């Protein structure tokens, strides 16, 4: 298989060198060129023919957000209007806001620039750990396998048979990662303020980003969306978003019964290389709500949520996952589908209706027609 062709866009000579050196050290990646700003990057697309672009945000002449919009509009050639773009962001309020703007404009994912590191070697390791897995996931061509990811997936198995009747959900839990911010911005605004259950949400994101993201979702949604804090009562119509670097859980029921359930935050070890992670939330609600759980897993790389989804389903809960055709990366939902834990595998635009239907106690047939189709 040919190496993944990457164009590196950054106005900093130092950053361009770090990123280029890190990527060039991977035999499955080839840096085909660099650009000092967005304008140069758009002009070079047709010449360099990259499979993926890494894009700084703050640059002279044309910044990264403008460049993303230009690429998506076809200014660099219609052939490259859908090229995956990974933003390079600073871990600041301003950087978080700009990154979310870039994702809204069509960027696929982001990595945070190394901060407070003492050496170039540490900076390179930080970039290597964050960036290379995302490049491989977004291009769908992990070099460890001889075939593209999508074509190599076997058809999803049927959902495992239930041992008892499903339970009407008393809580909605959602997990997402790569591509999740935009997927959530399409799903949550379709849910009514009168939603009869509380909502808990894990999106893989660092601190600062989660606070800004919660505020953006709150402006978009009839539901109230907050960055979760420790000890908040769980009430219908409120979405609690896990804060960066903290697992969000629901502690076991206390003396007040289910009506007294609250959010809980902890900094337990990362799971699936993530904190916040989906699995701790899913496990906790199985116990707190006695399996009366509706779980939704959207686009994301990795397999976070698979084990928790299995526990939810075994306890009588219901699991819905996004299909492959509409996922940016069919890692997390694909892992659940492949394990036989998905009651329904649906395109993104059908998920809000499915949520409303299940919360009303009306189950649906499992839909997997697009689940195994190559993207």
CA 147 remoteness from chain centre:
24
Residue 176 near residue 301, CB atoms below 8 Å: no
Contact 239, 217 (CB under 8 A): yes
- Its sign, for the CA torsion 179, 352, 368, 171, is positive
Backbone conformation region of residue 27, classed left if phi is above 0, alpha if psi is from -120 to 50, else beta: alpha
Beta strands in the chain (DSSP E): 4-9, 29-35, 52-56, 85-89, 109-112, 171-176, 199-203, 224-227, 238-241, 247-249, 264-266, 293-297, 318-322, 344-346
The answer to whether 56 is a known catalytic residue is: no
Residue linked to tokens 């303020």: 193
Nearest to 190 by CA among 163, 220, 158, 157: 220
Considering the candidates 26, 105, 204, 337, report the single residue annotated as catalytic. 204
CA distance 57 to 206: 17
Please say whether the beta carbons of 331 and 137 come within 8 A: yes
Cα end-to-end distance, the chain, whole Å: 18
- Name the active-site residue from 304, 323, 327, 358: 304
Distance CA 239, CA 243 (A): 12
97, 105, 123, 177: which one is catalytic?
A: 177
**Does 284 qualify as catalytic in the annotation?**
no
Q: Is 24 a catalytic residue?
A: no
Q: Are strands 85-89 and 109-112 parallel, antiparallel or unpaired?
A: parallel
Supply φ then ψ for residue 45, to 5 degrees. Answer: -55, -50
Annotated active-site positions, please? 177, 204, 304
């Amino acid at each position: 298989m040919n190496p993944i062709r990457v164009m590196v866009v950054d106005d900093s000579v130092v950053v361009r060198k770090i990123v280029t050196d890190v990527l060039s050290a991977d035999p499955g990646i080839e840096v085909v060129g660099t650009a000092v700003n967005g304008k140069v990057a758009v002009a070079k697309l047709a010449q360099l023919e990259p499979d993926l672009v890494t894009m700084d945000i703050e640059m002279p002449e044309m910044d990264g957000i403008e460049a993303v919009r230009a690429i998506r509009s076809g200014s660099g050639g219609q052939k490259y209007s859908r090229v995956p773009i990974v933003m390079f962001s600073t871990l600041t309020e301003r950087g978080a806001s700009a990154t979310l703007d870039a994702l809204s404009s069509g960027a696929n994912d982001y990595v945070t620039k190394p901060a407070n590191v003492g050496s170039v070697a540490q900076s390179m390791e930080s970039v290597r750990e964050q960036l290379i897995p995302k490049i491989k996931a977004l291009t769908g061509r992990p070099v460890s396998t001889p075939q593209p990811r999508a074509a190599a997936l076997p058809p999803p198995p049927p959902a495992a048979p239930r041992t008892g009747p499903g339970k009407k959900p008393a809580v909605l839990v959602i997990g997402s990662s790569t591509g999740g911010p935009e997927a959530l911005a399409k799903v949550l605004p379709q849910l009514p303020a009168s939603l009869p259950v509380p909502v808990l949400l894990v999106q893989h994101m660092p601190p600062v980003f989660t606070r800004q993201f919660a505020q953006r979702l709150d402006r978009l949604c009839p539901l109230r969306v907050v960055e979760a804090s420790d000890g908040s009562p769980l009430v219908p119509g409120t979405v609690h978003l896990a804060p960066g670097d903290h697992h969000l859980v629901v502690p076991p029921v206390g003396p007040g019964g289910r009506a007294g359930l609250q959010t809980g935050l902890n900094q337990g070890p990362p799971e699936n290389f993530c904190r916040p992670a989906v699995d701790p939330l899913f496990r906790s609600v199985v116990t707190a709500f006695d399996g009366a759980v509706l779980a939704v897993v959207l686009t994301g790389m990795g397999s976070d949520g698979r084990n928790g989804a299995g526990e939810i389903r075994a306890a009588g809960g219901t699991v819905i996952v996004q299909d492959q055709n509409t996922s940016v990366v069919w890692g997390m939902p694909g892992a659940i589908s492949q394990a036989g834990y998905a009651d329904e595998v649906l395109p993104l635009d059908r998920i809000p209706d499915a949520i409303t239907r299940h919360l009303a106690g009306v189950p649906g047939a499992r839909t997997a027609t697009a689940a195994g189709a190559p993207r």
